[in-house]
Amino acid sequence: MQATTTSMRVSGGACTPRSQTRPCSGRRLAPCTRAVPPPAADKAVDKGFSLLEWSNKVLPQSQLVAGVKTGWRFAWQTMVKELAPQSKDGAYKRPSYKFTGRVGDAQFPAESGRYHLYAGNACPWCHRALLVMVLRGLLRPSDPASTPSAPSSSSTSGAVITAHTGRGPKTHVSFTTLVDDPTRARRGGWVFDAGKGVVDPVWGAQDLWQVYDTASPGFRGRCTAPLLVDARGKRIVSNESADLVRMLNALHLPGCTDVDLAPAHLLPQIDALNDKIYDSVNNGVYRSGFATTQSAYDAVQREMYGVLDELEARLSDSRFLLGDKLTEADVRLFPTVVRFDAVYAHIFKCSRKRMADYPNLSGWMRDMWQIQVPGSTLQVSGTVDIDAARNSYYTNLFPLNPSGIIPSGPTFHDLKLDAPHGRGNSSALQDVCWSRVA
């Protein structure tokens, strides 16, 4: 009599049966108690410390996971607080600004060619100041006989601002772009990209900290942009973007446009809308991204999307936020909206709705981007570099993105900013802006 028994062999990390035939002795066979050796380690796979493979014998997994989570969260919260100061309930509190001078005062006379703006190529707060300079014609050549260095009227790459060196025709207000690289900056992140020919034309500084420290020796604080300086008097004017927007709009020099972004009859409405947009949208995305508690995050998300829904409804009835002509409120909203899908929706966890889900806001965004300013050395389309912004946020805000991996999109081209907006027949300046000339 023959009996068939089954033995086991190890093959490729798994047990496979092997049948063999042998004489039956009539005895019951004892089960095999020989331990199956573990599979050979794959040297091509990095498992870190392999903690989850041995944790239960040395330390219960529940304690291991709880301890690592607590330590990781403490380290993360500490880094976020350094980057973005917090209230006791885990809500982001934006620091105040130290320089609040005004062009037009006795200390800072309104003169063509006297002032210089330092603007970060990825920064929405810098972007709003640049927009005013473009719309007001402050980037027109101060010598009417000069020929603009002429970026194309519509940027096809969104990268015109990145390569701006401050050279070319002299304009009423000059500016230099900075790149965000905290590994090169001595404080903060803004440095001059000397490799692309961008240098500091006022002090010859290497980074923005050196500008602050030279103009205000012993400066202590954050070296933020935008920063407007008096290049002749070698003094800082202001580093508060809201003040810069208002004062640059009021700066009227020969050869500038007649655009008025804050006409007197709309000023109360503009101020009220500005406050709402700043708290809930401009700063709202940062409050979302830098929140360190769930309750703080949930509160600002409700607030932000409530205001975005309100703005979407408002734009269903008018071309711009306060009627058929744009105002300062539009200028202050645009930098956040144009970065929203490419940056904030992901890294700041603002993903409940994208701008693409708001048809009126999306059309308004394209309408703003396509505005033309005759004679300007920079157009609205050249004031934003979406791909540089994505790179800056995802690589430098490392507490929010420890891997440093940059998502593949949306890119500048994905946003289709040059597509028809369907919100008006003309993008000419005189058709979309209020004039200070009666």
Average pLDDT for residues 151-164, to the nearest whole number?
41
Mean pLDDT of the region 116-136: 96
Report the candidate in 357, 391, 367, 267 with the shortest Cα–Cα distance to residue 319. Answer: 367
When computed from its CA atoms, the radius of gyration of the chain, rounded to whole angstroms, is: 30
pLDDT band at 61, cuts 50/70/90? confident
State how far the Cα of 284 lies from the Cα of 307, in Å rounded to an integer. Answer: 10
Please say if the pLDDT value at position 153 is more than 80.
no
349 confidence band (pLDDT: 50, 70, 90)? very high
Query: Residue 223 class from Cβ within 10 Å (0-12 exposed, 13-18 middle, 19+ buried)?
Result: buried
The two three-digit tokens of residue 424, written as one number: 């008006």
Active site residue 123: yes
Q: What is the pLDDT of residue 271?
A: 98
What's the pLDDT score for residue 322? 98
The dotted CATH code for 115-432 is 1.20.1050.10
Which structure tokens are listed for 140? 């027109």
Q: Residue 343: pLDDT band by 50, 70, 90 thresholds?
A: very high
Does residue 307 carry a pLDDT above 50? yes
Contact 215, 236 (CB under 8 A): yes
Q: What is the pLDDT of residue 168?
A: 58
Q: Name the pLDDT band for 21 (thresholds 50, 70, 90).
A: very low
The predicted structure's pLDDT at residue 425:
86
pLDDT of res. 45: 81
Q: Would the pLDDT of 400 be above 50? A: yes
Catalytic option among 123, 223, 256, 350: 123
pLDDT at 277: 98
Which residues lie below 8 Å from residue 221, measured CB to CB, with a gap of 6+? Answer: 95, 98, 212
Tokens matching residue 132? 């005013």
Assign 42 a pLDDT band (cuts: 50, 70, 90). Answer: low
From 128-137, 145-154, 426-435, the region with the lowest mean pLDDT: 145-154
What is the rounded average pLDDT of the residues 191-200?
Answer: 91
C-alpha 149/C-alpha 151 separation (Å) is 6
Task: Round to whole Å and give the CA distance between 239 and 236.
Answer: 8
Question: Is residue 286 annotated as a catalytic residue, yes or no?
Answer: yes
With 0.75 as the threshold, say if the pTM is over it.
yes
- Tell me: pLDDT of 10 over 50: no
Compute the distance between CA of residue 161 and CA of residue 122 in angstroms, rounded to an integer. 10
Q: What is the distance between the alpha carbons of residues 340 and 356, in angstroms, rounded to a whole number?
A: 10
Kindly state the average pLDDT of the residues 386-400. 92
Are the C-beta atoms of 330 and 433 separated by less than 8 Å? no
Supply the pLDDT for residue 360.
98
Per-residue pLDDT reduced to its tens digit, 363-387: 999 999 999 999 999 999 999 999 9
Query: Can you say how many angstroms the Cα of residue 280 is from the centroid of all Cα atoms in its chain?
Result: 16
What value does the mean pLDDT of the chain take?
A: 85
Summarize the confidence of residues 42-55 as an average pLDDT. 71
pLDDT at site 6: 42
d(CA 145, CA 325): 31
Quote the CA–CA distance of 300 and 291 in Å, as a whole number. Answer: 9
Task: Grade residue 94 by pLDDT with cuts at 50, 70 and 90.
Answer: confident
Give the pLDDT score at 32. Answer: 55
The pLDDT value given to residue 344: 98
Residues 6+ apart with CB under 8 A from 431: 424
pLDDT of residue 47: 74
pLDDT number for residue 44 = 77
pLDDT of residue 35: 56
| Residue-wise DSSP of 313-337 | HHTTTSSBTTBSSB-HHHHHHHHHH
Q: What is the mean pLDDT of residues 190-206?
A: 92
Report the candidate in 345, 334, 353 with the shortest Cα–Cα distance to residue 409.
Answer: 345
Helices (H), 98-228: 124-135, 208-215
Which pLDDT score is estimated for 86? 72
Question: CA angle, 434 as apex, 431 and 436 as ends, to 5°?
Answer: 130
For the purposes of burial, counting CB atoms within 10 Å of the CB of 29, is it exposed (0-12), middle (13-18) or buried (19 or more)?
exposed
Give backbone dihedrals phi and psi of 84, rounded to 5 degrees, phi first: -140, 100
Q: For residue 13, is pLDDT > 70?
A: no
**pLDDT: which is higher, 5 or 314:** 314
Q: What is the mean pLDDT of residues 118-124?
A: 94
In three-state form (DSSP H/G/I as H, E/B as E, the rest C), the secondary structure along 60-127 is CHHHHHHHHHHHHHHHHHHHHHHHCCECCCCCECCCCCCCECCECECCCCCCCCCEEEEEECCCHHHH
DSSP designation for 29: P
Structural domain boundaries in the chain: 115-432
d(CA 350, CA 264): 35
Above 70 in pLDDT, residue 430?
A: yes
